[in-house]
Amino acid sequence: MKMIKINDIQDSPADLYDPDGNKVGTIETMLQFNDVRLQILKQRLEGYVLHWKGLELELNNDGTLQSWPNDLFDITEKQMAEMVHLRNRKEEKS
């Protein structure tokens, strides 16, 4: 019987700063990041910046980023893409 294990998978945290340069807090998960993005969008806020791995990433007032670097809160997307790929490969062999 094959065994599985539960891996400790974590995103790299990012610090959020307000327009005055004050640290709002540390975002540790994609759920938290999406919540912050929704708040910015709903309130049309400007000037919020994410500090992540030495980069400063500006959040637009629609909750998007000027640019989205690889590995920034993208674990779920990568896992889902791998699952789709593996399923498609299995179906092709059938």
Which neighbouring-strand residues pair with 93?
Answer: none
Residue range 31-51: mean pLDDT, rounded = 97
Residue 56 amino acid letter? E
Q: Which residue has the higher pLDDT, 38 or 1?
A: 38
Tell me what pLDDT residue 94 has. Answer: 67
pLDDT in tens, 64-78: 998 899 999 999 889
Contact status, residue 53 vs residue 47, Cβ threshold 8 Å: no
Could you give the CA distance from residue 61 to residue 37 in angstroms, rounded to a whole number? 9
Residue range 40-53: mean pLDDT, rounded = 98
DSSP 3-state of 27: strand
For residue 12, what is the DSSP state?
Answer: P
- Which residue, 80, 52, 54, 49, is CA-closest to 66? 49
Q: Residue 93 above 90 pLDDT?
A: no
What are the domain boundaries of the chain?
Answer: 14-93
Tell me what pLDDT residue 91 has. Answer: 75
